[in-house]
Structure 1
Amino acid sequence: MTRLLLIVTTLFLVGNTAWAAPKKKYHFELAAVTVKPEVKADVAKSAAPRVELQVKKALASHPQLVAALDGAPPKSQVDAYRKYLVKKRLAGAFLVTVEVTEASEELVPMDKPNAQRLVVRVGVHILGETIPGRTMGFTGDGQATVKQEVGKKVRERDRQFAWDSAAEVAIADAMTTVFKQLAVPAKKQ
């Protein structure tokens, strides 16, 4: 009897995971990376390219995203473009704009001699517009703070690592929000 119960339980658990629906796939095209005017100009100058690099990495490597649409009709041919998306089994295509809402760098003294802490903060807002049609598709916000212990002088390599890490985590945070929104079925009107 125990053996039968074990077999039935195993089949039930294996059966449930086998029937799980695959996650939907999407196409994201990066339109622009902008910086809010509230961000200091010198910080914005270094933050924008780092955020853009991390966004491009995320778009190229995310398992739910298709990077290139080979053979897609022009976006101006709305019906043909939508049929192409259905044919390729894509749930949607979006034009993505990323806005750096917060970016700062600070050096904080530490109790240790010849040591200080580099603190980098990055905040982003992601907006996706549907292709074709350019209606609002999703939004997502992400923030990250990276604290790194450095010596008396901050090496450029340490600064780059802190900025890249903060941008990567902020983008990942925003993308998590985006995919949660996209997973919710659209309301019928």
Structure 2
Amino acid sequence: MANSKLKYYFPLGLIICIVLDGTLSSLYAQYFFTSSLSIESRLTLLWLVMAIFYGEVDRLMLWAFIAGVIFDMYYTGILGIFMVIFPLIVYLNREVYRFFTSNFIVVLLIYLIDVTLVTAVAYWANSLIGLTTTGSADFVVQTLGPSLAYNLAVFSLLFIPVKNFFEKYSSR
């Protein structure tokens, strides 16, 4: 990424994704958050996963950490959950990347596993500190399931444009 435009575009895209995660949740709050469901947008995670599989980004772990700190400070007010989980996801995906080819189905399944992991860890951490009292079964039905469905749809819509973006601006 040394001389590519990606070193400028990647952080910009990351910031846009962080902002869009909250903006979409705010704009569509009446649909995303009801008494029976809670949908969590994971565009930031999508951006990081696509960077692993299709981009050539220097210091991606650092960018994941920075994204996690911003996400924690702005959306949760508690430092720790996302600043740890985003770099962990990047590390785990890089390890898994070596064993698979980069195609729609593989990246989709890995992304859905990542969404599950991030959502479950955030739930667990919030339960631990008393920010939520929702039971595990309710969490799966009301938050995890709808979040997976929403993020599946978003991934399907954005896969080709984001893949083309990373391939165009990376020197791979």
TM-score (norm 1): 0.28
Larger Rg: 1
TM-score (norm 2): 0.30
- Structure number with the higher strand fraction is 1
